[in-house]
A and B are shown apart, each in its own frame.
Chain A
Amino acid sequence: MEPSDHLFRRESGRMVAALTRIFGIHNLALAEDVVQEAFCRALEVWQLRGVPENPSAWLMATAKNAALDTLRRQRTARTFAPDLGQMLQSEWTLAPVVAELFAPNAIKDDLLRMMFSCCLPRLPEETQVALVLHILCGFSVSEIASAFVSTEASIEKRITRAKKVLARSKKLFDIASDTEFSARLPVVHRALYLLFNEGYHGASADTAVHAGLCREAMRLTAILLEHSLAKTPTTYALAALMCFDAARLPARVDESGNLNSLFEQDRSQWDQELIAEGLMFLELSATGSEPTEYHIEAAIACIHARAQRPQDTDWPSIVSLYDRLMTIHPSPVVALNRAIAVAQNEGPERGLEEIRAIPDIERLATYPFYSAALGELELKSGRNEAASQHFRAALELARNPTERRFLEERAAACAKTTGLVEY
């Protein structure tokens, strides 16, 4: 039998979460060591005897036994989870308590508890995301560094510091407290949203990395949807948004690794199952209070997902959704996307006007798709020379070979349609 894709990575998050629940957050490093040892054992046995029928159960049982060993050996030298204190001291209660803590439902709660603990508002948002990837998704420092196109040293520093903060927080987040739960939930939403976006728009050139990060964000969002307090309209909106966007991933890059814009994508490659799931989540999100930015982004993504051809897109609705998004969550990127929608609706000149009117546009100076948007609109207005300059400026900012190829092609398109090509 062969292990399923990313089995170790996924199980790593489950095991670390379960062990930290028992050992206490201050013993996170110990939990990580025990998990590493469980993987070593699995490797030693499985490489000669083959992968067992239920590898997840095997790993979890190994982690459980290692936890019991550790508790017995170290209970005088260390303190473990404060709320379990006495129960772990006595041989009478130790084994049954640990068995209960390793039950499937308990582990689901452990994952949630760990997710909420990693999204500590005191930590910068990108650190929360890195921590979630590291602890819950089992990514190593170097894997995160390559996904974020950052250096190992800087990710290492960020994660080490964050773990110290986490360890000092004394206890894991209390998922049983309603008020604390609702207060922390938006921070968790934001981290998962950023994780998904890193996958969707991230700087990595590797399409497998993109899909992998998106999948992790969706997996963690699904865990939220299994919990009564976390299953809010906003969580459904976030899930819907992820489904609609992820549905387009297969068409975003062609076989030769070239990036396709929304207008060029082969829409028959869009994942209809994910679109259907997105529609279901969108419906479930439409209850309760005020719509959030996730509701509106999901609604926009939904309009794109439902347009069979680019020309079928309902641009007026998209523009008015962006107008609402600008009131809830204004940002230069939102304003830029709104301007692009205006251009689709009212022509490139109007789009350019809108872009020029964005107040803090200089914040987009290093964003390659800002210059690229200007290029597209100039090109549509027939000013090929200006368009070409914008695409060349965007090229300077390209973050990977895929973006570079895409922008080179756009720059080349400016030359083709000028009539200035020399024969």
Chain B
Amino acid sequence: MSEFTYLFRGRNTSGSPEEMQKHLEKWVAWFKELGAKGHIKEQGHPLDGTGKVVKGNGKTVSDGPYAEAKDVIGGYMVIEAKDLAHAAEISKGCPILEVGGSVEVRPIQKLNM
């Protein structure tokens, strides 16, 4: 088993209260399924939309990231899967895909001695 990070991009901002709740219920169901199959390594965290970007030798600090809403990372988690293809396959169940968002799947590099 290897570890992978899921980076969730995009946020669901439209929809009636009932639709938003239905969307949430899909996440709850997806998490339950991932948990039941033993894929969740770390539950991860949501990230606030605000932030700062510190850059270069001059150490300039700017507000950011200010990417387009669909590109902002809204949260992350760590999962366990056989390989990258498997991790990508599992991510297909993520409800964020139904609202125009995306999941970036990245293998976590380990220091193997």
Contacts and interface: CB of A to CB of B under 8 A. Distances in A.
B43 A48 contact: yes
A45 B46 contact: yes
Contact of B13 (A8, A40, A45): A40
Nearest to A2: B28
Contacts of A44: 11, 46, 74-75
A258 B8 CA distance: 45
B65 interface: no
A12 interface: yes
Interface string A13-51: 000000000000000000000001001101111111111
B12 A43 contact: yes
Interface stretch (B16-24, B52-60, B84-92): B16-24
Contact of A8 (B21, B28, B75, B95): B21
Chain A, interface size: which category? Answer: 20 to 34
B110 interface: no
A121 interface: no
B-side interface size class: 20 to 34
Given A3-B24, A50-B31, A39 B17 contact: yes
A308 interface: no
Nearest to B77: A48
Interface stretch (A135-143, A158-166, A371-379, A408-416): A135-143
A6 interface: yes
A78 to B, nearest CB: 22
A11 interface: yes
A3 B27 CA distance: 12
A7 interface: yes
B25 interface: yes
Contacts of B27: 43, 46-48
B37 interface: no
Interface string A139-158: 11011000000000000000
A9 interface: yes
B25 A2 contact: yes
Contact of B24 (A11, A46, A142): A46
B44 interface: yes
B17 A48 contact: no
Nearest to A46: B24
B45 A9 contact: no
Nearest to A12: B17
Given A40-B13, A43-B12, A3 B25 contact: yes
A45 B74 CA distance: 9
A8 B11 contact: no
Given A43-B24, A48-B77, A138 B46 contact: no
Given A40-B11, A40-B12, 20 more contacts: A2-B25, A3-B24, A6-B18, A6-B21, A8-B21, A36-B13, A39-B20, A40-B13, A42-B24, A43-B23, A43-B24, A44-B46, A44-B75, A48-B43, A48-B45, A48-B46, A50-B28, A138-B16, A138-B18, A140-B18
